[in-house]
Amino acid sequence: MKHKVLVGMEVHLQLRTHSKMFCGCPVKFGAPVNTLVCPVCLGLPGSLPVPNRDALTMALALATAMGCEINNLTKFDRKNYFYPDLPKGYQISQYDRPLATGGAVEVVTEAGVKSVRLRRLHIEEDVGKNLHDDARGLSRVDFNRAGTPLVEIVSEPDLASAEEARAYLNALRALVQYLDVSDANMQEGNLRCEPNVNLHIEDAGGVVKTPIIEVKNLNSVRNVERAVKFEIDRQLAEYREKGAAVTKQPRATRGYDDQRDQTFEMREKEEAHDYRYFPEPDIPPLSIDAKWRAEAKARVPELPAARRRRFSDQFGLSAYDADALTRERATADYFEQAVAAGAPPKPAANWITSDLARHANDRKTSVKGLGLAPARLAALVRLVEDGRVARQVASKDVLPRLLDGDDDPEALVSKLGLARIDDASRIEDVARRAIAANARAAADYRAGKEKAIGALMGFVMREMQGKANSDVVQDVLKRLLREGA
């Protein structure tokens, strides 16, 4: 069934300011309940909000980085609704004059590079957090988070797959980390996102558009990808069952259950929400003048997309590798430092995105956080490239020791006798044993099955702990087989 996937993304990003959006309380995660509060963020009678200029500048820097059009005149609006975690009975947000509109984010998947258009970027305040004590049947509210500055970024429905949804979030996270405006950590709730998913399905009678589903409760990039994938499949199945009748269903919100890896219907109130937006009378409209724009622009460093392109051009890396390297600013810096220390770029990229990334993941840190000096990595990469140690040996035996504190790859290699063995005479003996022990493979090879040599090579490499030069091993085996050993 021919269909097109349309995913739009609504992202909320907590800005890492010193103080909250409209008061002087500190922005901090994990403080004791209700200790980071004051009359303003508690919404006490008589208190008034004063916008945090630094938060606005950070949001402007982000808008600049994404090529958004910044409004000359922006204003705050009140979004009215009742909820216990909302101290004032309204959220100060932006409605019809957001900080910025338009712009785009470049995303990279294995299929290539794609530009995702943005609809708008606005600033608002976060709400508190409801804490439920089910055992005692009580609920409490922690207002530490209330008033934390949030940026909301709404994309056009340009994402055409779950992979692109994931890539979009990764690109956005990379961007804000480069700008140093947010931790963008989904587990801690610094970054929250709600994908909107629907399908345009080619039907005999034309195009059937499934109702737009907004998915909530997503706490990791991986879950976003899984939830979008599930939702695409679910909507397809629903269309197969009900046909064009699906268009009569309203747009809806579904939650995501990561235990079962599925979305579920969320009970919505019958009445449609009417937030009764109106201009916030406590805050006059703000004019964003040239000086302020320049200040925001000065905060924008070389961005991931530009750096990715530069890495491709300068070092001949694929877009995919360059993207993996540039997603974290510190990793990209690390790569450049290793290259500067003499590592050939392509192998260095490979070492960082495979070996170092895997160790970082195991140790729950970043590439930089592994503590391996870029010059050490460069030395190791050079040893491999110069043929002095086998890639596998370097990866399995040398690198872990370097990570545990040894600091000279070359000394390590000679001390442990890990140098690559290129001498055919030292290989021949093992090769003979390999042929003797694998008579069937040897016979197959001689019968013309060239691939059968793989089993023989595996035997030799195993016997020699991977240290043998595989080209030499292959030559020796072929010669011996030819000679009828």
Partner 1 sequence: MSELWQLSATALAAAVRSREASAVDVAEAHLDRALRWNDQVEAFLHLEPEEVRRQAREIDRRIAAGEDPGRLAGVPVAIKDNLCVRGQPATCASRILEPFVPPYDAHVIERLRVKGAVLFGKTNLDEFAMGSSTENSAFGPTRNPFDLERTAGGSSGGSAAAVAAGLAPLALGSDTGGSIRQPAALCGVVGMKPTYGLVSRYGLIAFASSLDQIGPFGRTVDDAALLLEAVGGADARDATSAGVPVPDLRRPGDVKGLRIGVPRECFGEGLAPDVRALVERAIKDLGKAGARIEEVSLPLSVHGIAVYYIVAPSEASSNLARYDGVRYGLRGDGKDVEEMFSLTRGEAFGPEVKRRILLGTFALSSGYYEAYYGRAQRVRAAMRHEMEECFKKVDLLASATTPTAAFALGEKTDDPLAMYLSDVLTVTAPLCGVPALSLPCGRTAAGLPVGLHLTAPRFGESVLFRAARAAEQMLPPFAWPPEPPR
Given 13, 15, 75, 90, the residue binding partner 1 (CB under 8 A): 90
DSSP letter at 354 equals I
Phi, psi torsion values for 180, nearest 5 degrees: 60, 45
Q: Is 33 in the site for partner 1 (CB under 8 A)?
A: no
Given 44, 131, 294, 306, the residue binding partner 1 (CB under 8 A): 44
Q: Is 48 in the site for partner 1 (CB under 8 A)?
A: yes
Alpha-carbon distances, residue 306 vs 119, 437, 438 (angstroms): 22, 55, 53
Nearer to partner 1, 51 or 147 (CB): 51
Q: Is 45 in the site for partner 1 (CB under 8 A)?
A: yes
Q: How near is the Cβ of 137 to partner 1 at its closest, in Å?
A: 11
Q: How near is the Cβ of 46 to partner 1 at its closest, in Å?
A: 4
Subset of 385-414 contacting partner 1 (CB under 8 A) = none
Q: How near is the Cβ of 271 to partner 1 at its closest, in Å?
A: 12
Q: Is 99 in the site for partner 1 (CB under 8 A)?
A: no
Q: Is 80 in the site for partner 1 (CB under 8 A)?
A: yes
Nearer to partner 1, 276 or 449 (CB): 276
Cα torsion 445, 450, 452, 455 to 10°: value is 110
Cα torsion 161, 165, 167, 171 to 10°: value is 150
Using CB atoms within 10 A of its CB, is residue 435 exposed (0-12), middle (13-18) or buried (19+)?
A: buried
Nearer to partner 1, 88 or 173 (CB): 88
Q: Is 264 in the site for partner 1 (CB under 8 A)?
A: no
Q: Is 241 helix (H, G, I), strand (E, B) or coil?
A: helix
Q: How near is the Cβ of 90 to partner 1 at its closest, in Å?
A: 5
Nearer to partner 1, 44 or 111 (CB): 44
Nearer to partner 1, 139 or 354 (CB): 139
Give how far the C-alpha of residue 62 lies from the chain's centroid of Cα atoms, to the nearest Å.
17
Task: Tell me, residue by residue from 268 to 297, as one string, x for binding to partner 1 by CB under 8 A and - for no binding.
Answer: ------x-xxx--xxxx-------------
Nearer to partner 1, 287 or 361 (CB): 287
Q: Is 88 in the site for partner 1 (CB under 8 A)?
A: yes
Please tell me the distance from the alpha carbon of residue 59 to that of residue 485, in angstroms, as a whole number. Answer: 73
Given 7, 17, 43, 66, the residue binding partner 1 (CB under 8 A): 43
Nearer to partner 1, 40 or 105 (CB): 40
Given 26, 31, 39, 297, the residue binding partner 1 (CB under 8 A): 39
Phi, psi torsion values for 447, nearest 5 degrees: -80, 0
Q: Is 84 in the site for partner 1 (CB under 8 A)?
A: yes
The answer to whether the CB of 56 falls within 8 A of the CB of 167 is no
Using CB atoms within 10 A of its CB, is residue 248 exposed (0-12), middle (13-18) or buried (19+)?
A: exposed
Contacts of 303 (CB under 8 A, 6+ apart): 65, 175, 178
Subset of 314-353 contacting partner 1 (CB under 8 A) = none
Question: How many amino acids of this chain bind partner 1 (CB under 8 A)?
Answer: 29
Q: Is 126 in the site for partner 1 (CB under 8 A)?
A: no
Pick from 473, 484, 389: which is nearest to 427 by CA? 473
Nearer to partner 1, 282 or 475 (CB): 282
Tell me the H-state helices in 82-137: none
Given 2, 32, 73, 82, the residue binding partner 1 (CB under 8 A): 82
Element (H, E) at 100: strand 100-101
Give how far the C-alpha of residue 283 lies from the chain's centroid of Cα atoms, to the nearest Å.
36
The answer to whether the CB of 171 falls within 8 A of the CB of 107 is yes
Helix, strand, coil fractions of the chain, as percent rounded to 5: 40, 20, 35
Which residues in this chain contact partner 1 in the complex, by CB under 8 A?
39, 42-51, 78, 80, 82, 84, 87-90, 139, 141, 274, 276-278, 281-284
